[in-house]
């Protein structure tokens, strides 16, 4: 009887360690990642990986990106003092394009942004960027991109 109790205790300890190890591993191998940067220089490694649009202006600030490794999707936003200058060399798109887009769940950047833009399209300018779509409102610029494509797969 005593041996059975010891075996039971040992098995419980092993399962507890396996459960803890699984949680630690799951934390470190997350499928959705989020980053905040103050400047383009701070975001340079993420830009090199292709998770932030390559045409991000040098004076971009308040940069946020969330990406989904499984879905190979990235979205986020940044701020600019002169969003008109940024928009001048890009093609304007119809807001209907955003209805076809998929965004992944993240703590800060949920689908509400897309829904708000669709509900109030007159307040945003929708643009086709290099491999992504932008939505501009005042000095804030939102982006959505599918990481595996050279051009937007959403169009």
Where b means 16+ CB within 10 Å and e means fewer, 10-40 reads eeeeeeeeeeeeeeeeeeeeeeeeebebeeb
Per-residue pLDDT, 30: 53
CB atoms < 10 A from the CB of 82, how many?
A: 11
Looking at per-residue pLDDT, the higher value among 140 and 151 belongs to 140
Does residue 142 register a pLDDT over 70?
yes
Query: Where do the domains of the chain lie?
Result: 1-30, 31-146
CA dihedral 94→96→98→101, nearest 10 degrees, is -130
Does residue 42 register a pLDDT over 90?
yes
Give pTM, 2 decimals: 0.69
Looking at per-residue pLDDT, the higher value among 3 and 148 belongs to 3
Note whether 88 and 52 are within 8 A (CB).
no
The band of 33, judged by pLDDT with boundaries at 50, 70 and 90, is confident
Looking at per-residue pLDDT, the higher value among 60 and 4 belongs to 60
Does residue 10 register a pLDDT over 50?
yes
SS3 track for 72-108: CEEEEEEECCCHHHHHCCCEECCCHHHHCCCCCCCCC
CB atoms < 10 A from the CB of 96, how many?
A: 10
Looking at per-residue pLDDT, the higher value among 77 and 68 belongs to 77
Question: CA 38 → CA 1, 41, 62, distances in Å?
Answer: 64, 8, 5
CA distance 98 to 28: 32
């Amino acid at each position: 009887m005593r041996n059975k109790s010891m075996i039971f205790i040992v098995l419980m300890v092993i399962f507890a360690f396996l459960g803890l190890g699984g949680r630690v591993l799951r934390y470190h191998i997350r499928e959705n990642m989020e980053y905040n940067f103050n400047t383009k220089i701070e975001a340079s490694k993420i830009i090199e990986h292709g998770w932030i649009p390559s045409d991000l202006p040098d004076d971009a600030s308040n940069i946020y990106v969330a990406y989904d490794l499984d879905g190979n999707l990235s979205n986020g936003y940044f701020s600019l003092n002169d969003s008109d200058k940024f928009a001048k060399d890009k093609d304007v798109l119809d807001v209907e394009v955003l209805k076809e887009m998929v965004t992944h769940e993240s703590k800060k950047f949920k689908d509400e942004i897309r829904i708000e833009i669709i509900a109030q399209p007159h307040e945003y300018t929708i643009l086709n960027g290099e491999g992504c779509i932008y939505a501009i409102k005042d000095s804030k610029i939102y982006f959505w991109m599918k990481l595996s494509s050279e051009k937007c797969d959403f169009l």
